[in-house]
A and B are shown apart, each in its own frame.
Chain A
């Protein structure tokens, strides 16, 4: 490989791509040609850098200079100043809130400082579409190690010793699962990578596939060797076209290099992988549903046992692991279980990747050691609450998880602590809510999601969740009663205990946690007919501060023109007023008023 004076690493995760990362690259390449720098400067598209809030992101290596929020217009100046004259450009760097001096280097930015990268070890460093980049970073060295030096049983023993647990939500010990699959009777065995990422509000698995597809393939091949499988599937949701494309590309490349297919690295071991695209159904992330859908059936779950490791795809032993679980495997094999098990807590080893979003300053993707507290992730890594509003809750584990209040910010992230608090680790989605978000509405939102996604096979989930949703909807409209709260709790426990699969078993979690931690808000809706966060619009009253309307906004008339119900009286230059009889409480006037003259109560 030719060496360049500067490597321009342009983030091409989905977030930055929608912020025009590819156009930025074109602009760089154009300027580089214009200044005859082709031999000195190389642009590379990488996987997700993680700091999505700052996108589009560009890192200039080897110095590690971090540029953010670039636009095509900025590029000529940047190329001239930095690449030609050697003067990194301050105005495109990241400046921490409340400070004035920018931080030039990525590794000095607090977002990156508490992170420990295992699953994401190659993010932003390699071109995910170039197998040589992966190999240059010790890629496929673990595969070569096991094929030449380790028996399948040794591989399983090593993974068991590492303490690795499933990152897809359940936290089942990975080595044990592999052992069960190895011992299960069957000529044909399968491995599956679960990249369905059903949690609507999470993007860890998307980012890992986009940033480093080869690590997943390598992990799967090692797993297949350990359990004796010859065929694998990567099941990716179709909402992730870029991940699908990169996975296809990685498979083709590793076949070409003899790292996948027949007689891998001349070892006599055969293993092949295909990609299956999910089709927009949440429950297909559940393992038995996923298997059914690969078999060409509708994706309904089956009762377990038998577990997939005994009787899975087409009745054969099948080992399913999550994307992140697979991504940890090559690192563990290469660096050893002792190294891995030193990271994390007593029961939860290694790191966990979280996607942090919602009302947070530095939304993005982070990988931290297990045992860091929720508060450390939210405040120290992700910069705290957006617009300095008040923190209200962190939603962890998506629709299967829970809404935890400020009191829980001291909780360490490990499987046991989060379950004890009524939530769950889930696959790693963290969404932060602030004082403007209503927790009853949040519970209603999640229930609406699970009701829509319930496959309808078992009654508790199909009927029970619909009944809970009815009650929650009533409460958000101010028509709830105090008895409803008991009924909700009874229903929640009944569904938890009797539903057929994990979707139903966990669907009541958001309701139970909001009832436990935010009961006051429920009571305010029921007794006072008020939504403290003003999010349940039916309970709001909108009025206009007429003085402010004239003094600040000069009667700008925008609210009247936007009101679909003819409920606002007034004309340009004069004070406006809302006719409460006509007002449908849609809240549009409140949103469009730029002068804070519309008040909500």
Chain B
């Protein structure tokens, strides 16, 4: 895969010891998943067996081997959010989008995931829409948020 974004990322991170995780994060961010061809390219360029990249890509939760939706919805499953009913919020989002955590809507507009705490426990329960954190989320508020992101 000769993609400039990829070549640039490999160049940058292969200089730094211990930076493989950072490289994969950057690729995941740029492509919204880890394309097989990208892993192949990293394997060739950095002389790392593809099997090892695969094991890393499947061990760490941030990585996805399939394309993710245009928007990501992360419902927090941290302790404070649990206490404030986070579980019900996941169910609610699942109902609204007709998907389960870890799944992407058919039109690739949303991926629903749970997250173990972005650290804003004072605002529980919390939902992260892409990178934006929304606090004190209710049934109605989450429905409105999804509507807003649907465009």
Q: B66 interface residue, CB < 8 Å from A?
A: no
In the complex where A18-B134, A274-B19 touch, is A298 in contact with B56 (Cβ < 8 A)?
yes
Does A280 contact B62, Cβ atoms closer than 8 Å?
Answer: yes
CA distance A431 to B80 in the complex (A): 6
Shortest Cβ distance from residue B76 to the other chain A in the assembled complex, whole angstroms: 8
Interface contact B122-A276, CB-CB below 8 Å? no
State whether A296 touches B48 (Cβ < 8 A): yes
- Supposing A357-B124, A433-B83 touch, asked if A281 and B60 sit within 8 A by C-beta, the answer is yes
Which one, B62, B95, B122, contacts A279 given CB within 8 A? Answer: B62
A-chain residues with CB within 8 Å of residue B48 when the two chains form the complex: 296
Which of A280, A313, A446 has most B Cβ within 10 Å? A280
Residues of A contacting B82 with CB < 8 Å? 201, 442, 445
In the assembled complex, how far is the CB of residue A562 from the closest CB belonging to chain B, in whole angstroms? 8
Judged by a CB distance under 8 angstroms, whether B61 is at the interface is yes
A506 at the interface (CB under 8 A from B): no
- Contact in complex: B80, A15 (CB < 8 Å): no
Complex interface: chain B residues within 8 A of A274 (CB) = 16, 18-19
Return the chain A residue nearest B113 by Cβ.
A280
Chain A 276-290 per-residue mask, 1 if CB under 8 angstroms from chain B, else 0: 111111100000000
The answer to whether B118 touches A240 (Cβ under 8 A) is yes
Q: How many A-B residue pairs have CB under 8 A?
A: 152
CA–CA, A144 to B103, complex, Å?
Answer: 53
Query: Contact between A591 and B88 (Cβ–Cβ < 8 Å)?
Result: yes
In whole Å, how far is A238's beta carbon from the nearest beta carbon of chain B? 6
Inter-chain contact A14/B18, CB cutoff 8 Å: no
Of the stretches B2-10, B20-28, B104-112, the one at the interface is B20-28
A395-B59 in contact given A357-B121, A363-B121 (Cβ < 8 Å)? no
Nearest-neighbour CB distance to chain A for B57, whole angstroms, equals 9
- Chain A interface category by residue count: 35 or more
**A201, B82: Cα distance in complex, Å:** 9
Chain B 44-76 residues near chain A, CB threshold 8 A: 48, 52, 55-56, 59-63, 76
A398 interface residue per 8 A CB criterion: yes
Residue from A55, A280, A364, A431 in contact with B79 in the complex, judged by beta carbons closer than 8 Å: A431
Grouping DSSP codes into helix (H, G, I), strand (E, B) and loop, the A interface class, with mixed when no group exceeds half, is: mixed
How far does the alpha carbon of A55 sit from the alpha carbon of B122 in the complex, in Å? Answer: 9
CB distance from B73 to the nearest CB of A (A): 15
Whole-angstrom CA separation of A275 from B13 in the bound complex: 12
Task: State how many angstroms separate the Cβ of A509 from the closest Cβ of chain B.
Answer: 13
Does B133 have its Cβ within 8 Å of any Cβ on chain A? yes
Q: Interface digits, A14-32 against B, CB 8 Å rule (1 contact, 0 not)?
A: 1101110000000000000
> Is A52 in contact with B120, judged by CB distance below 8 angstroms?
yes
Task: Decide if A206 touches B18 in the complex (CB within 8 Å).
Answer: no
Determine how close the nearest CB of chain B comes to the CB of A364; give it in whole angstroms. 6
Given the known inter-chain contacts A200-B79, A238-B62, A299-B59, please indicate yes or no for A18 contacting B120, CB distance below 8 A: yes
Please indicate the chain A residues that have their CB under 8 angstroms from the CB of B90 in the complex: none
Of A17, A207, A279, A588, which contacts B24 at CB under 8 A? Answer: A279
Once bound together, how far apart are the Cα atoms of A398 and B117, in whole Å?
12
* One of B88, B121, B131 near A201 (C-beta < 8 A): B121
Q: How far is the CB of A501 from chain B (nearest CB, A)?
A: 15
Query: How far is it, in angstroms, between the C-alpha of A52 and the C-alpha of B120 when the chains are bound?
Result: 8
Residue B123, interface by CB 8 Å = yes
CB nearest neighbor in A for B92: A588
Chain A residue, CB-CB nearest to B126: A18
B61, B62, B79, B88 — which one has the most chain A CB atoms within 10 A of its CB?
B79
Q: Is A311 an interface residue (CB 8 A)?
A: no
Report yes or no: A18 in contact with B132, Cβ–Cβ below 8 A: yes
B122 contacts A364, C-beta separation under 8 Å: yes
Which residues of the other chain, B, contact A293 by a CB distance below 8 angstroms? 21, 60
User: Within 8 Å of chain B (Cβ to Cβ): is A449?
Assistant: yes
Q: Is A592 an interface residue (CB 8 A)?
A: yes
Query: Bound state CA distance, A293 and B63, in angstroms?
Result: 14
Given contacts A14-B118, A202-B119, A280-B61, contact A294 B21 (CB under 8 A): yes
A55: which B residues are within 8 A, CB to CB? Answer: 122-123
Q: B18 and A239: CB pair below 8 A?
A: no
List the B residue with the shortest CB-CB distance to A275. Answer: B22
Contact A277 B22 (CB under 8 A): yes
> Known: A52-B123, A203-B121, A240-B119. Is A295-B62 also a contact (CB below 8 A)?
no
A381 to chain B, nearest CB (A): 14
Q: Tell me how far the C-beta of B64 lies from the nearest C-beta in chain A, rounded to whole angstroms.
A: 11
In the complex, what residue of chain B is closest to A456 when comparing beta carbons? B59
Q: Point out the residues of chain A lying under 8 angstroms from B132, CB to CB.
A: 18
**Smallest CB separation, B72 vs chain A (Å):** 12
Chain A residues within an 8 Å CB radius of B77: 200, 449
Q: How near does chain A come to B110, taking the closest CB pair, in angstroms? A: 19
Most chain B CB within 10 A, of A18, A355, A586, is at A18
Is A310 interfacial (CB-CB < 8 Å)?
A: no
User: A233 within 8 Å of B by Cβ?
Assistant: yes
Bound-state CA distance A141–B79 (Å) is 39
**A297 is an interface residue with CB less than 8 A from chain B:** yes
Q: Is the CB of B121 within 8 A of A299?
A: no
A292 and B78 CA atoms in complex are apart in Å by 25
A241 touches B139 (CB 8 A): no
> Nearest B residue to A243 by beta-carbon distance?
B119
Contact indicator B59/A281 (Cβ below 8 Å): yes
**Measured between C-beta atoms, what is the minimum distance from A136 to chain B in Å?**
28
CA of A500 to CA of B44, assembled, Å: 35
Is B135 interfacial (CB 8 A cutoff)?
A: yes
Q: Give bound CA distance, A446 to B63, whole Å.
A: 24
**B118→A239 contact, CB < 8 A:** yes
**How far is it, in angstroms, between the C-alpha of A77 and the C-alpha of B25 when the chains are bound?**
45
Q: Are A276 and B116 in contact (CB under 8 A)?
A: no
Contacting pair A296 B21 (CB below 8 A): yes
B146 at the interface (CB under 8 A from A): no
Q: Shortest Cβ distance from A457 into chain B, in angstroms?
A: 11
Judge if A197 is at the interface, Cβ distance under 8 Å.
Answer: yes
Nearest CB on B from A355, distance (A): 6
A201 and B62 within 8 A (CB): no
17 contacts across the A-B interface (CB closer than 8 A)? A15-B122, A17-B133, A18-B120, A19-B123, A53-B122, A240-B118, A240-B119, A241-B131, A279-B24, A293-B21, A294-B21, A296-B56, A358-B83, A395-B79, A442-B82, A446-B79, A592-B139
By a beta-carbon cutoff of 8 Å, the part of chain A in contact with chain B is 14-15, 17-19, 52-53, 55, 197-203, 206-207, 233, 238-241, 274-282, 293-299, 313, 355, 357-359, 363-364, 395, 398, 429, 431-433, 437, 442, 445-446, 449, 455, 564, 586-588, 591-592
Using a CB–CB cutoff of 8 Å, the interface residues on chain B facing chain A are 16, 18-22, 24-25, 48, 52, 55-56, 59-63, 76-84, 88, 91, 95, 115-124, 131-135, 139
Known interface pairs A240-B118, A297-B52, A449-B77; 6 further A-B residue pairs with C-beta atoms within 8 A, sorted by A's residue number: A199-B117, A200-B79, A276-B19, A296-B20, A363-B121, A431-B121
The 4 closest A-B pairs by CB, nearest first: A201-B79, A52-B122, A357-B121, A279-B60
